[in-house]
Amino acid sequence: MRNRILYMIISFVLPNFVFLKANDLIGKNPTLTKTLSPSVNLSISQVSAPETGLPLIIVTATNDVPVIGDQYVFLNVSGMGITFGDYSVSGYQINIADGSSAGSILFYVQDDLLAEGNEIATLSLYGPSAGLVLGPVIEQNLTIEDNEICGGPGGIVINNQAQANSFRTTYPGCLVVEGDLTINDDDGMGTDLVNIDSLYGLTGVNGALGIFFNPVLSKLDSLNNITQVGGDISIFDNNMITSLTGLSGLSSHTGTFSVYNNPALNSLNGIYNLTVFNNLNIYSNPNLINLNGLANADIINGALYINGNDNLIDISGLSSIASVGSSLTISSNPALTSIQELTQLISVNESLFITDNASLENVNDLLFLESITQDLYIDNNGALTDYCGLYPIMDKEVNMGGTAIGGTITITNNAVDPSPADIVINGACGNIQNERTGQKYTSLQDAINDADPMGGDTIVFLDHIEESFVAYNSVYVNSNGFTLTIPDEIPDVSFGRMEIYQDVVFIWLGGTIIVNPAGLINNDGTLHNNGTIIYQGGTGTFENGGIYKGTGSFQGNFMNYGSVNPGN
């Protein structure tokens, strides 16, 4: 009885110790050895799974020994970017029945339809019931293989129609190509790549996009959900592609954008969402007639190269380009007659080349060009006679110590080859001229501002003019049969207006002034009208606080706070 009481006390106080020898209890000190309590650990049936096919992973909690009474432990799922869209489970409580040593739940990997790369879901145990103790292995990592990013670092190559047709079978759920995407009907097995319809739904290419050597591919429409390309874009030697409308979703890319040797291409329409280019090369496209598809482009970080496009008649589409980060080349475009779309160009950060454009007659629209970091090279433009657009930059170069052009100036083999000093002497260009001084202007406002304040100057129109203005100085205006249009609105002006200040005499010698419906005539001086002033729709307002006279006519609403002399 005494031995039994001693055993019970020792077992209660030292529950984690057991006796190795029962006879140690009699007359001897007992020998004790420490043992670990039974614990529950976590395991999973596989450590990785794809998003496709709803793969099943068995998640098991295993105790070292059978449990006494029903027991349970909870499962937690965590990880960077892991959401309920990535998985589903049969339950978060893992039950282990009385007398059993393990219990399981079912974990399903789901396709979340997001291109986010492989993710790691961390599964861990917590909150065991009273009869369980958490063991050393209570956490497992499960890699969820993203099927929306496909192709691996090596990218995807489509060489024939069979590969194109099987794209969705080979890469189910793919949204983004991890490497390069190359569409190239040049596998040596004939030319059969007619369409790439199965690529529809792609939203991005992390590498380069190459579309080349495709003799019978005529459309790129199935690519119109691609919004970004992480490398170069190269489109060349495609015999039947007429436009780039299939790239209408593209809003960003990294690298060089090149379009060349596409004999049927007549338009760049389709890339209007691209506003920033690094290097842009458009060359040897014999049927391309304009660059309208570039209408929203405003930044060229690198080089801009326009060369060898036989039927290119204008470079519309470049009208928002303010600077070119490297060299600008416009060469060997025999049908190009003007570069009037470059009116916003302020700087070229390397060299400017204008060469071998047989029909180019003038460079008048470089009026706002302020600096060329390296060389200016104008050569072999057989019809080029007018350089007035270079007047501002040449004036800085000649009269301000050569600060505008960093390198050499070469003007040779053109119809006329003026020196920088000649260009300055010949003066600026514009559609408006002061008859007394001979000075030309691009803005009526500038011409009025420079006129003799006493009214001795006549401003002559050399073309139709559309502009709002304020008459600070008295002037005669001879329209020469051209029309002056007062617009509804222009930048930085809330509404178009023709405004004549007090003590100013504005004499319209003849011709037509058209005022758009939201435009305004406000006369506080003297408006002498010998021509015709018409409000479109006849609904505009002429506010006269000064003197209105002349032999001409006015059509519209007339609000008179001043005087009107007979003759109208």
- Write the DSSP string, 286-342: TT----GGGTT--EESS-EEEE--TT----TT-TT--EESS-EEEE--TT----GGG
CA atoms within 13 A on the CB side of 71: 27
Average pLDDT over residues 446-456: 87
Task: Judge whether 331 and 355 are in contact, CB under 8 Å.
Answer: yes
Judged against a pLDDT cut of 90, whether residue 518 lies above it is answered with: no
Write down the pLDDT at residue 170.
Answer: 92
The string of DSSP codes covering 235-254 is EEEESS----GGGTT--EE-
The proportion of the chain whose per-residue pLDDT surpasses 90, expressed as a percent, equals 62
Classify 382 as helix, strand or coil.
coil
**Among the listed residues 172, 179, 203, 200, the one whose alpha carbon sits nearest the alpha carbon of residue 50:** 172
In angstroms, the Cα distances linking 446 to 77, 467, 468, 501 are 71, 11, 11, 16
pTM of the model: 0.68
Output the pLDDT for position 49. 87
Dihedral-angle region of residue 356 (phi above 0 means left; psi in -120 to 50 means alpha; beta otherwise): left
Nearest in space to 389 (alpha carbons), one of 417, 367, 371: 367
Count of positions (residues) in the chain: 568
pLDDT at 161 over 60: yes
Cα separation, 80 vs 164, whole angstroms: 34
Please tell me the distance from the alpha carbon of residue 506 to that of residue 526, in angstroms, as a whole number.
6
Taking the CA atoms of 170, 173, 179 and 182 in sequence, report the sign of the dihedral they define.
positive
Give the model's confidence band at 12: pLDDT under 50 very low, under 70 low, under 90 confident, else very high: very low
Query: Do 233 and 209 meet the contact criterion of CB atoms below 8 Å apart?
Result: yes
Question: Which residue type is seen at 252?
Answer: S
Position 561 scores a pLDDT of 87
- Cα 449–chain centre separation: 40
Rounded to the nearest 5°, which phi and psi values hold at 369? -70, 120
Distances from the Cα of 45 to the Cαs of 49, 61, 108, 128, 402, in angstroms? Answer: 10, 12, 12, 21, 76
Distances (CA, A) of 511 to 369, 451, 514, 542: 34, 21, 10, 18
Confidence of residue 192 (pLDDT cuts 50, 70, 90): confident
Instruction: For residue range 123-142, list pLDDT tens digits in order.
Output: 999 999 999 999 999 999 99
According to the model, what pLDDT value does residue 325 have?
96
Strand order in the sheet with 440-441: 440-441, 432-434, 454-461, 474-478, 505-508, 526-529, 547-549, 563-564
pLDDT band at residue 261 using 50, 70 and 90 as cut-offs:
very high
pLDDT band at 32 (very low <50, low <70, confident <90, very high): very low
Q: Is the dihedral of CA 260, 266, 271, 272 positive or negative?
A: positive
Contacts of 498 (CB under 8 A, 6+ apart): 468, 469, 471, 486, 513, 515, 519, 520, 521, 522
Specify burial of residue 189 (Cβ count, 10 A radius: 0-12, 13-18, 19+).
exposed
Determine the pLDDT at residue 4: 43
Q: Cα separations (Å) of 452 from 5, 92, 471, 505, 546?
A: 127, 89, 12, 12, 21
Residue 134 is given by DSSP the state: B
Contact 10/30 with Cβ under 8 angstroms?
A: yes
Average pLDDT over residues 26-34: 49
Q: Do 261 and 282 contact (CB within 8 A), yes or no?
A: no
Backbone torsions φ then ψ of 425, nearest 5 degrees: -65, -40
164-178 pLDDT tens trace: 999 999 998 889 999
Q: What is the pLDDT of residue 14?
A: 37
pLDDT-based confidence at residue 438 (cuts at 50, 70, 90):
confident
Average pLDDT over residues 234-255: 94
Banded pLDDT at 540 (limits 50, 70, 90): low
Q: How confident is the model at residue 3 (pLDDT cuts 50, 70, 90)?
A: very low
Helix%, strand%, coil% for the chain, nearest 5: 15, 35, 50
482 HSE (CA, 13 A, CB side): 16
How far is Cα 368 from Cα 198, in angstroms, rounded to an integer?
Answer: 48
Q: What average pLDDT does range 490-497 have in this prediction?
A: 65
Q: Tell me: the pLDDT tens digits for 367-379?
A: 889 999 999 999 9
The confidence score (pLDDT) of residue 146 equals 77
pLDDT at 188: 63
- In whole angstroms, give the CA distance from residue 51 to residue 56: 11
pLDDT digits (tens, 9 = 90+) for 230-240: 999 999 999 99
